[in-house]
Amino acid sequence: MPPIGRFRTARSAAADSAAPTTFRDLVPTKLAAALWDRLQKYKKISGFPQQETCELLIVDRSIDPIAPVIHEWTYDAMCHDLLNMEGNKYVYEVTTNAGKVDRKEVLLEEHDPLWVELRHLHIAAVNKKLDEKMTNLKEKNKAAQIRLGSREGQELTTRDMHKLVQALPQFRDQIEKLSLHIDIATKLNKKISELSLREIGTLEQELVFGDASSKDLINIFTTNENLTKENKLRLLMIYAASHPEKMDAAKRLQWMKLARLTEEDMNPVVNMDYMGVSVSKKESSGFSIKFGTRKNKRGLRKERNQDDEVYDLSRFSPMIQEILEELASGKLSKDEYPYVKEPSAAQIQMMAGDSLSVRSSPANSRPAQSVRSTWATKAKLSDDGQSSDSSLRHAHSDPKITGRRIFIFVVGGATRSELRAVHKLTEHLRREVILGSTSLIEPHEFLTVGLPSLST
C-alpha cells in the first residue's frame, strides 16, 4: 500500500521564528525521504503494489503549538488531563455494604460501550447524558418491580431478585458502568470548580480568537487565587503563540513576576521558540504591563463553520483539521507541503476524484444530528496504556467511505484534540483518516518532557 507522500518543509516550519533552521526542523523532510527510499526498495519485491493507493502527510509538532496546552473539554481529554491517569487506567475507591473501602482499577477502553459513547462529548453533554441514563435506569427498575408484582419501595426477596436478573440480565452491568462514569464525571466537575477552569477556558478561547489581550491575562493573574503553576504556564504559552512580539526576555521577566513564577518555571514558554513561536526577538525598551491596554483583534485562529454543536469553551479546532481538509480538497500548499515525488497525471486525476467526492458528500450538507460515528478499530495498547504501535487509528465501518485513506504522521507527539479531529474527519470526508505519531501527549507531559526535550 505505497502512499503519495508529502511533508512539511523546514522553510515553512521556521518562517516566523528567530531561530535558524536546525536538524530538528528537517526531521519531516528526512523522514519522508527515508520512507521514499525504503518504498523504492520494496517495489522491487515481486508482488509488491506499484500504484500508490493512499496519501501520507508528515508534519511535526510545530504545526500547532496551541493544541498540546489548551484545555480540551471533551470527556476523554479531561479524564487524562485532570485525573492523573496512567495510560487508560483509572483508579477509584468504592465502599461496600459492610463499610469497607475497596480500591478498584478499570481500563477506559472499547470494551466499555458507555465510555465509547461518551468520550468525544463535551463534559456538559456528558453530564446531561448520564442524568438521562440514570433516570431511564430508574424507570426500568420500576418496570421490573411491576413485572414482579412488587410495589415501589418494597424489599425484594431472593426469589424476586432471581426473577429480576432473568428479566433484566444487563441490569447489574449497567449499574456498575453507570456508577463508574458518574464517579468520573463528578470528580471532573469538582476539578473544574476548584481550578476555576471555566474562567481559564474562556480566556484561552478568547486569546486564540483575538478577543482578549494582555489586560485580560493580567486580570486573571491578579484576581484568581486558584491558578496552579501549570495553568499559569498554559495561559502564558497560548498568549505567547498569539502575541509573540510580547514575549521577549524583558517582557517574559515582567510576566514571570506577575504570575509569581521562577525562571525555571518559564522554560516551557522560552522553549516555544523551537516550535516556530518567535519569543526570542530583539528586546524592546520601556516595557511595562498596563491595565489599560487596548485589545488587538487578531486571532491565531479564525472562526470555523462547525458541523456540530459548539460550546463556548470548545470553539478551538486543532490546526491538523484545517490541514487535512485542505489536503482532501486538493488545496494544500505545495510550497509548504511539497510532494516527495510529484504525482503523475493519472494520480492527480485520482486525487481530484477524491476531492470531488468530498465536496459532494452528503455528510457535508446533512445536519449534525444525523451524523453517527463508530470506532471499528482500537489502537494496540501496552500494559501502561500507551500505544504500542504508535498508530492512533480511527477506523470506520461506514460503507459510505469511498475515498482513499489519508495517513498523517506527527513527529513530536499528537494530542487528544487531534485524535478527536481525525475521527470526526473520517465521517466528514468519507475517507478513512489515520493519525500516527511518535507518542500521544498529555498537557502536563508536554510541559515537563515534550518542550524541554526540544532544547537538547
The Cα 309–Cα 73 span in angstroms is 13
Task: For residue 162, give every residue at least 6 positions away whose Cβ sits within 8 Å of its Cβ, in sequence order, or none.
Answer: none
Name the least confident of 53-62, 268-277, 307-316. Answer: 307-316
- Please check whether residue 176 lies inside any domain of the structure: yes
The Cα 396–Cα 117 span in angstroms is 15
Kindly state the average pLDDT of the residues 50-70: 91
pLDDT, residue 137, reads: 73
Q: Do residues 366 and 325 both lie within one domain?
A: yes
DSSP reduced 3-state for 90: strand
Residue (of 392, 449, 444, 378) closest to 83 by Cα position: 444
Is the per-residue pLDDT at 337 higher than 70? yes
Three cell numbers written together for 315:
470553539
Q: Do residues 221 and 348 both lie within one domain?
A: no
Kindly state the average pLDDT of the residues 208-235: 96
Pairing of strands 406-411, 54-60: parallel
At position 119, the amino acid (one-letter code) is R
DSSP reduced 3-state for 394: coil
Q: Mean pLDDT, the chain, as a whole number?
A: 79
Q: Which of 272, 307, 342 is the last residue of a domain?
A: 307
Q: Do residues 385 and 434 both lie within one domain?
A: yes
Kindly state the average pLDDT of the residues 309-324: 88
Q: Say which CATH number the domain at 43 has.
A: 3.40.50
Is the per-residue pLDDT at 426 higher than 50? yes
Is the per-residue pLDDT at 369 higher than 90? no
**How does 19-45 read in b/e, with b if 16+ C-beta sit within 10 Å?**
beeeebbbbbbebbeebbeebeeeeee
Is the per-residue pLDDT at 380 higher than 50? no
- Please check whether residue 128 lies inside any domain of the structure: yes
Is the per-residue pLDDT at 154 higher than 90? no
Kindly state the average pLDDT of the residues 301-305: 61
Task: Looking at 209-362, list the stretches that DSSP marks H as alpha helix, in order from N- to C-terminal side.
Answer: 214-223, 229-242, 249-259, 267-270, 319-328, 345-359
- Please check whether residue 313 lies inside any domain of the structure: no
Q: Do residues 215 and 254 both lie within one domain?
A: yes
- Please check whether residue 157 lies inside any domain of the structure: yes
At 349, the pLDDT band (50, 70, 90 cuts) reads low
Q: Say which CATH number the domain at 87 has.
A: 3.90.830.10
Q: Do residues 254 and 183 both lie within one domain?
A: no
Is the per-residue pLDDT at 374 higher than 60? no
DSSP state of 294: P
At 455, the pLDDT band (50, 70, 90 cuts) reads low
Residue with the bigger pLDDT between 310 and 419: it is 419
Q: Do residues 332 and 431 both lie within one domain?
A: yes
At 352, the pLDDT band (50, 70, 90 cuts) reads low
Q: Which of 173, 194, 215 is the last residue of a domain?
A: 194
Name the least confident of 39-43, 115-119, 150-154. Answer: 150-154
- Please check whether residue 244 lies inside any domain of the structure: yes
The Cα 288–Cα 285 span in angstroms is 9
Q: Do residues 38 and 152 both lie within one domain?
A: no
- Please check whether residue 199 lies inside any domain of the structure: no
Is the per-residue pLDDT at 370 higher than 50? no
Q: Do residues 450 and 322 both lie within one domain?
A: yes
Q: Which of 307, 340, 370 is the last residue of a domain?
A: 307
pLDDT, residue 172, reads: 72
pLDDT, residue 10, reads: 78
At 292, the pLDDT band (50, 70, 90 cuts) reads very low
Q: Say which CATH number the domain at 241 has.
A: 1.25.40.60
167-171, 284-288, 370-374: range with highest mean pLDDT: 167-171
Q: How many structural domains does the chain have?
A: 3
Q: Are 319 and 8 in contact (CB under 8 A)?
A: no
Q: Do residues 156 and 88 both lie within one domain?
A: yes
Is the per-residue pLDDT at 291 higher than 60? no
Q: Do residues 450 and 324 both lie within one domain?
A: yes
Q: Do residues 53 and 84 both lie within one domain?
A: no
Is the per-residue pLDDT at 391 higher than 60? no
**Range of the structural domain that residue 27 is part of:** 3-64+318-454
Kindly state the average pLDDT of the residues 36-42: 89
Is the per-residue pLDDT at 25 higher than 90? no
Q: Do residues 165 and 216 both lie within one domain?
A: no
Element (H, E) at 122: none
Is the per-residue pLDDT at 326 higher than 90? yes
- Please check whether residue 69 lies inside any domain of the structure: no
Is the per-residue pLDDT at 388 higher than 80? no
Q: How many residues does the chain have?
A: 456
